[in-house]
Structure 1
Amino acid sequence: MSALKRTPLFPLYADFGAKTIDFGGWELPVQFSGIMKEHEAVRNRAGLFDVSHMGEILVSGEDAYPFLQRMLTNDLSRLKIGKAQYTLMANERGGTVDDLLVYRLGEREFLLVVNAANTEKDERWLTGHKTGDVAIENLSSRYAQLALQGPLAEKVLQKLAEDDLSALPFFGFRKDLSIGGVKALVSRTGYTGEDGFEIYLPPDEAPNLWRMILEAGAEEGVVPCGLGARDTLRFEACLPLYGQELSETISPLEAGLAFAVKVNKAEDFIGKAALAKELEEGPKRKIAGIEMLDKGVPRHGYRVLKDGREIGHITTGTHSPTLKKNIGLALIERDAAVPGTELEVEIRGKCLRARTVSTPFYKRNRQG
Structure 2
Amino acid sequence: MSRTKAFKEQLDEHGAKWSEWRAVEVVGDFGDPDTEYHAVRGEGLGLADHSWRETLVVTGSDAVPWLQGLVTSDLFQLAEEGSGQITTAVNQVGRLIAEARVLHMPEMLVLDLEPGVLEAGLLSHLRRHIITEDVTLVDRSEQTARVSLYGEQAAELLDRVCDTEHRVTSLEEFAGTWGAMGDEDVVIQRVPLTGGPGFDVSCASEAADRVWRTLIDANDAVTPVGFDTLETLRIEAGVPRFGKELTEERIPLEAGLDHAISFNKGCYLGQEIIARLDTRGTPARLLRTLVLGEGAAPRVGADIEREGKVVGQVVSSVWSPRLQKPIALGYVKRNHNEVGTDVEVEARPASVEALGYALASTSAKV
TM over 0.5: yes
Aligned position for 1:353 = 349
Aligned position for 1:277 = 276
Unaligned runs of 5+ in 1: none
Q: 1:149 to 1:352 in 2, by over 3 A?
A: same
Aligned position for 2:83 = 83
- Offset at 1:214? 0.7
Runs of 4+ more than 4 Å apart: none
Q: Check the 8 A contact 1:149/1:195 in 2, yes or no.
A: yes
Q: Matches of 1:229 and 1:325 in 2, distance apart?
A: 16
Q: 1:312 to 1:113 in 2, by over 3 A?
A: same
Q: Check the 8 A contact 1:6/1:28 in 2, yes or no.
A: no
Q: Matches of 1:87 and 1:167 in 2, distance apart?
A: 22
1:256 aligns with 2:256: yes
Residues 1-368 of structure 1 aligned to structure 2 (within 5 Å): 7-8=3-4, 9-44=7-42, 45-79=44-78, 80-106=80-106, 109-120=108-119, 121-131=121-131, 132-163=133-164, 164-175=167-178, 177-218=179-220, 221-266=221-266, 268-281=267-280, 282-346=282-346, 351-361=347-357, 362-363=359-360
Structure 1 window deviating more from structure 2 (137-146 vs 166-175): it is 166-175
Q: Check the 8 A contact 2:149/2:200 in 1, yes or no.
A: yes
User: Structure 2 counterpart of 1:189, which letter?
Assistant: V
Q: 1:197 to 1:143 in 2, by over 3 A?
A: same
Q: 1:54 to 1:238 in 2, by over 3 A?
A: same
Task: State the aligned residue count.
Answer: 352
Q: Check the 8 A contact 1:40/1:321 in 2, yes or no.
A: no
- Offset at 1:238? 0.7
- Offset at 1:10? 1.8
1:336 partner SS: coil
Structure 1 window deviating more from structure 2 (95-104 vs 163-172): it is 163-172
Q: 1:172 to 1:21 in 2, by over 3 A?
A: same
Q: Check the 8 A contact 1:292/1:354 in 2, yes or no.
A: yes
User: Structure 1 counterpart of 2:49, which letter?
Assistant: D
- Offset at 1:294? 4.9
Post-superposition Cα deviations, 1:213-267, rounded to whole Å, max 9, x if no partner, equal 111121xx2111110111111111111011222111111100011121113202x
Post-superposition Cα deviations, 1:20-63, rounded to whole Å, max 9, x if no partner, equal 01222222110003222111101122110110111111111121
Q: Matches of 1:75 and 1:260 in 2, distance apart?
A: 9
Q: Matches of 2:34 and 2:129 in 1, distance apart?
A: 44
Unaligned runs of 5+ in 2: none
Q: Matches of 2:172 and 2:336 in 1, distance apart?
A: 38
2:252 partner SS: coil
Structure 1 window deviating more from structure 2 (86-95 vs 161-170): it is 161-170
Q: Between the two proteins, what is the percent identity of the paired residues?
A: 28
Q: 1:205 to 1:304 in 2, by over 3 A?
A: same
When the two structures are superposed, what TM-score results if normalisation uses the length of structure 2? 0.91
